[in-house]
A and B are shown apart, each in its own frame.
Chain A
Amino acid sequence: MSGGVSASSPRWHALTPGALLGRRKPPAALLAAGLVIAAGAVLPAVYLLIVIAGDLGPALDVAFDADTGLVLLRTLALAAAVTAAAVLIAVPIAWLTVRTDLPGRRLWATLCTLPLVIPSYVGAYLFVAALGPNGMLQDALGVERLPSIYGFFGAWLVLTLFTYPLVLLPVRSTLRRLDPQLEDAARGMGRTPFETFRTVVLPQLWPAIAAGGLLAALYVMSDFGAVSIMRFDSFTTEIYVSYKSAFDRTATAGLGAVLVALMLVLLWVNSRIRNSRALHRLGPGPSRPPRPYPLGRWRWPALLGCSALVLIALVLPVAVLVYWSTEGIAGGAVSAKIVGALAANSLMTAAFAALAGGACALVIALLAGRFPGAVSRTLERMSHAGYALPGIVVALALVYFATRAVAPVYQTLTLLVFALTVHYLPLGIGPITAALGQVSPRVEEAARGLGRGPLEVFRTITAPLLRGGILAGAALVFLHAIKELPATLILAPIGFETLATEIWNQTTFGFYEASAIPSLVLLAIAAPPLYLLSERGTVSS
């Protein structure tokens, strides 16, 4: 047997999904849905190929340029550093808030996940305002000059703090579903808590860690807001220079294609990590919830650690926003009626995107998880195409196709929701896949053996067990859709403004005080889904 599970627990085997499930064929309807979804998700990549095909020589020149390669390596280094740091933060926090008796752990769970709602273009600026040269911290400390936070370090810090929740969510979700009997057995054999964690718990968390880590890495690859403010030249900076400064459509497409190729490589690496340690529960599930691990003296360092994290990642940015908003209100820059209308628009768009994204992600995750094979693997990879690309590229791709093929839909909310779904689909797939890994196919097979049809089995058995993952996926899509900017500016109906577009309006000319209220409202709207996620995102028994 491969994998890190001891031989004393014969109910558990480390197997690839294919070995466990055999070559099952998916129902035709599911497969058809998956094909349609993947075809939609891959539209941006198709657009890139069309543009490149129109001007092949220059596109290849740009893609294979030595300087491009250097920037790519630099960006990969940043992505790796951010992913590593995010995992190192998320796993301990997940364990502390799920498995120990940490005081106030439900509150900590929500607080530690909240940084996800802060848009990177706002967050980076807040960090500079707080921690940068002549920032608020420097004034507060009365120091002449703080060490510079710009460059690789600053970009790494900001991106880590805003992406670790992407790992935290699936890991927490999985941790709550684990069978404590396994760990008890290991402890009973005399293993220390740490060894137990390392050999029993961690292998079961790998799929969740891998899923979250992939999302974090891809996010870093496609982010522009944070890296430009922190003055780190990343791959997306190259893309922006090519279309914003040089108006070179071909170069933009060439660089975008490199990103997509890179994403495929990352996906392949990710699937190796996931499948080499995939664990499926063979028994019916935990018979009792796990006993909280008593922290004792360690409670204080744990609380200190959580407080430090929440302070830097959440309290600091919010404090800056509150400070600015008091100036904004004093200056008369805000109208409650307008902010309310903006909030309604943001909410509506994000809700639609979450519904669509969650549903599509469910289809893809089921295909990849329950009917493994070359086809579903391909569909899953195609579904990631839109996430690795910057939002503006996704938007331009849809402008291209919509104006040529489905003109009535152009610049309607429908197209915008479609764009957001394409752009954020993997965020939904990750958590559902992780949850699916904790649901044994044997239970479904038993139900089928009792005569229930596949749809009924899904409805009565699989879906309730997946509920946590589906909610987590939809909530992640919601959180990202609500703060999205470039696609909204281009594809939304004229006059349809959101909190994000209003923030952009104000910050373009430096009216940061006026941008603070919309930012705070954005955080306020996004917080409840996060709470729902943390608390309801699991099955009661």
Chain B
Amino acid sequence: MPTRKLGIPVIVLLTAASLVVGACGADTSGNDGGPEEPETEGITLYSGRIPAAIGGAVDIYEAAADRDVQVRFADTADLAATIVEEGKNSPADVFFAQEPGAIGAVAAEGLLEKLPDDILKRVPAAYRDPNGYFVGVTGRARIIAYSEDVPRSELPDSPFELTDPKWKGRVGWGPATASLQQFVTALRIQYGDDRTREWLEGMVENDAVDYPNNVAIRDAIANGEIDLGLINHYYVAQAIAAEGPDYPVKVHFPPEGLGSLVLTTSVGVLASSDRKDEAIDFVRSLLAKPSQEFFTSSSKEYPLARDVEPDPSLTIPLEDIPTPPPGDLFDVTQLQETIEMMEEAGAL
């Protein structure tokens, strides 16, 4: 039966072929220049930020320190959970978190190393861990994005106004996103639990539209699905940079109600690391002028280091934006209470 035997050899051949091809193309990281660096010299970074967001800063460090940085890119929360499971066997040296809650959780498990004072002092106290285990690198501003069809005069001065019936069904938010959850945590700290719960319930009653992430909200405004959205500033700034100044979504920094809250992306060194000096060096580089300027010009985020000018699209100076007391936004317990409150209010 000649045809019967054809299947298995074909499969084996295909598998062998794919193995050969795969072995040739295995390393897709950007390290394609120069000879192989010995493993002990380089450092390992777990980054919750995608390559486009940090690539430039990593290149700056690699060039200046002549050292290799191996980066694992994944979701921030997944990486935080991984670091916790790895414990003292973690191969990572540095953790760069997109949101404060994740790095707060890792610090709460005692897995981070205290950073030296010169690094901590590079950023204002509000944007770093009061205990010194991690430091903010860039600031992501919460704003209200609005459709160009909405007249400026109608824009709310504070997110609290969004529960007004005139905004029924016209506002988009992302209760599942870390940045909205951080915002709600900040509201609780600043205005108390009762007022925050009222706001959450009001938003749900006012048919605020639920999206899985900030990009979806921005796109929905561009499509005309909704008129306003509670998102982060740079999603709009990046779209404008890509599509031109005629992009139909604009940015409004509400002056009250923590409408312009700044959330930090933060970095910490793992206590389990064998290359702490190099890791700290890397953190120092992230806060130095060249990297900070890269962050603000490419991702349109606020540079948190004290002497760096922000991108022109960030029209409100950092000092004018109110901040909650230092450390509270990183507190995991606070975050868990926020999640509970949001679930009870029907927002999550």
Contacts and interface: CB of A to CB of B under 8 A. Distances in A.
Interface of A: 67, 133-134, 228-229, 231, 237, 240-241, 243-249, 252, 338, 340-342, 344-345, 347-349, 351-352, 354-355, 392, 395-396, 399-400, 403-404, 407, 410-411, 464, 467, 471, 474, 486, 489-490, 493-497, 501, 505, 508-510, 532, 536, 539-541
Nearest to A486: B78
Contact of A351 (B10, B18, B239): B18
29 contacts: A134-B225, A241-B343, A243-B77, A243-B81, A247-B77, A247-B336, A249-B84, A347-B18, A348-B18, A348-B23, A351-B14, A351-B19, A352-B15, A355-B15, A395-B82, A396-B81, A396-B82, A400-B85, A403-B89, A403-B90, A486-B75, A489-B74, A494-B70, A494-B72, A497-B29, A505-B50, A509-B50, A509-B235, A532-B10
Given A231-B210, A247-B80, A540 B26 contact: no
Interface stretch (B215-223, B255-263, B283-291): B215-223
Interface in B174-198: 176, 178, 181
Nearest to B23: A348
Nearest to B14: A351
Contacts of A243: 77, 81
Contacts of A246: 332, 335-336, 339
A430 to B, nearest CB: 19
B27 interface: yes
B19 to A, nearest CB: 6
B91 A411 contact: yes
Interface string B53-71: 1000000000000000011
Closest CB pairs A-B (n = 3): A348-B22, A495-B29, A510-B215
B101 A247 contact: yes
A338 B28 contact: yes
A539 B4 contact: yes
Interface in B286-319: none
Contacts of A229: 212
B51 interface: yes
A67 B7 contact: no
B25 interface: yes
Contact of A495 (B1, B27, B210): B27
Interface string B88-105: 011100000000011001
B131 interface: no
Contacts of B238: 509
Nearest to A400: B85
B341 to A, nearest CB: 12
B26 A496 contact: yes
A47 to B, nearest CB: 9
A351 B15 contact: yes
A244 B22 contact: no
B348 interface: yes
Nearest to A514: B52
Which secondary structure dominates where chain A touches chain B? Answer: helix
A392 B78 contact: yes
A495 B70 contact: yes
B223 A134 contact: yes
Contacts of B74: 486, 489-490
A509 B215 contact: yes
B339 A410 contact: no
Contact of B28 (A134, A342, A399): A342
B90 A345 contact: no
Chain B interface residue bracket vs A: 35 or more
A514 to B, nearest CB: 10
A260 to B, nearest CB: 18
Given A231-B212, A486-B78, A497-B29, A247 B343 contact: no
Contacts of B335: 245-247
Contacts of A489: 72-75, 78
Nearest to B210: A231
A252 B336 CA distance: 13
Contacts of B22: 344-345, 347-349, 351
A228 B176 contact: yes
Most buried by B among A243, A245, A249, A494: A245
B85 A247 contact: no
B44 interface: yes
A253 to B, nearest CB: 11
Given A243-B77, A403-B86, A509-B50, A536 B6 contact: yes
B88 to A, nearest CB: 9
Contacts of B10: 532, 536
A509 B75 CA distance: 12
Interface in B210-252: 210-212, 215, 218-219, 223-225, 235, 238-239
Given A344-B21, A510-B215, A536-B6, A494 B71 contact: yes
Contacts of A355: 15
Which of the listed residues A247, A344, A539 has the most CB atoms from chain B within 10 Å of its own CB?
Answer: A247
A338 B75 CA distance: 22
A505 B73 contact: yes
Contact of A471 (B3, B7, B82, B343): B7
Given A246-B336, A247-B332, 7 more contacts: A241-B343, A344-B24, A410-B89, A490-B78, A490-B82, A494-B70, A536-B6
B51 A505 contact: yes
B85 A403 contact: yes
Contacts of B44: 494
A495 B31 contact: yes
B81 A245 contact: no
A44 to B, nearest CB: 12
Nearest to B225: A133
Contact of A510 (B71, B210, B219): B219
Contacts of A241: 176, 339, 343, 348
A11 to B, nearest CB: 25
Contacts of A539: 4
B70 A508 contact: no
B87 interface: yes
A448 B243 CA distance: 73
Contacts of A231: 210-212
B52 A509 contact: yes
Contact of A399 (B18, B86, B343): B86
